[in-house]
């Protein structure tokens, strides 16, 4: 397997520190000169690492003042293996619409930080509660990191299958909560109109070695499914 570039290794380490709370919200990161010394790399390498974290909405730059941790409720949190699943599959059932291996679109390539020629599993599912379709879900798994995905594993919690059957450890996630819509074909699965507003949760799951093992998109009809988020203050 090709060795991971140094800037990605540095970005992964800084990300873990930010999500672990080692840097306070709106707190300043070490200056680039200190980071170049600490990691024994060039300033260009440090800037490429920081660019990744800026794109992920974890940090922001102030011209002439430095780089700071962004205060945001959707920037992510460290989780243990029992908290990796976004939904409760004791109350939801999954119907698989599509399970295939593809060359990913550009946006997925950028999000998973992979090469455009890398293959990914793509899974499309509808989650139902009491036979009522409430969530349309699309998941991407880079095959070079996640191997052995099976059709029979897609009818329940995929993260449980990854951790219990594939021995893949999920260490952290970044979740973004957005307003989303589905196209006409996908909207039919939820029995809604294409432009009806939905809660869209986009999620990246990081593995033990720091790479992104899963990117998923979840369109939730909140009129039929109450998805709650608990925020701890202080």
pTM of the model: 0.70
Same fold, 6-72 and 81-220: no
CATH of 6-72 among 3.10.129.10, 1.10.10.10, 3.40.50.850, 2.60.40.1180: 1.10.10.10
pLDDT band at 228 (very low <50, low <70, confident <90, very high): low
Q: What is the pLDDT of residues 57-114, one digit of tens each?
A: 788 888 888 898 875 544 444 444 456 678 888 899 999 999 999 999 999 999 998 9
Q: What is the pLDDT of residues 168-194, one digit of tens each?
A: 888 788 888 899 999 999 999 999 999
Q: What is the pLDDT of residues 150-167, one digit of tens each?
A: 888 899 999 889 988 999
State the number of CA atoms in the 13 A half-sphere of 145 facing the CB: 24
Architecture of domain 81-220: 3-Layer(aba) Sandwich (3.40)
Q: What angle do CA 189, 205, 208 make, to 5 degrees?
A: 150
Q: What is the pLDDT of residues 21-71, one digit of tens each?
A: 788 777 889 999 999 999 999 999 999 999 888 877 788 888 888 898 875
What b-and-e string marks burial along 195-223, b requiring 16 or more CB atoms within 10 Å of the CB?
eeebbbbbbbbbbeebbbbbbbbbbbbee
């Amino acid at each position: 397997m090709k060795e991971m570039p140094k800037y990605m290794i540095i970005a992964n380490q800084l990300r873990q520190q930010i999500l672990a709370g080692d840097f306070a919200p709106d707190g300043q990161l070490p200056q680039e000169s200190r980071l170049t010394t600490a990691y024994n790399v060039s300033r260009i390498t440090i800037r490429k690492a920081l660019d990744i974290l800026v794109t992920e909405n974890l940090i922001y730059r102030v011209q002439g003042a430095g780089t700071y941790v962004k205060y945001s409720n959707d920037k992510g949190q460290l989780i243990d293996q029992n908290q990796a699943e976004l939904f409760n599959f004791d109350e939801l059932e999954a119907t698989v619409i599509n399970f295939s291996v593809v060359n990913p679109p550009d946006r997925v390539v950028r999000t998973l930080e992979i090469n455009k020629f890398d293959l990914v599993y793509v899974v499309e599912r509808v989650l139902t509660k009491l036979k009522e379709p409430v969530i349309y879900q699309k998941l991407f798994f880079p095959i070079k990191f996640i191997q052995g995905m099976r059709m029979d594993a897609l009818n329940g919690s995929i993260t449980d299958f990854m951790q219990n059957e594939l021995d893949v450890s999920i260490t952290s996630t970044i979740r973004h909560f957005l307003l989303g819509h589905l196209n006409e074909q996908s909207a039919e699965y939820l029995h809604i109109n294409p432009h009806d507003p939905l809660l869209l949760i986009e999620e990246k799951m990081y593995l033990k070695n720091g790479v992104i093992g899963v990117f998923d998109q979840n369109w939730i009809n909140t009129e039929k499914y109450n998805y709650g988020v608990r925020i701890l203050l202080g």
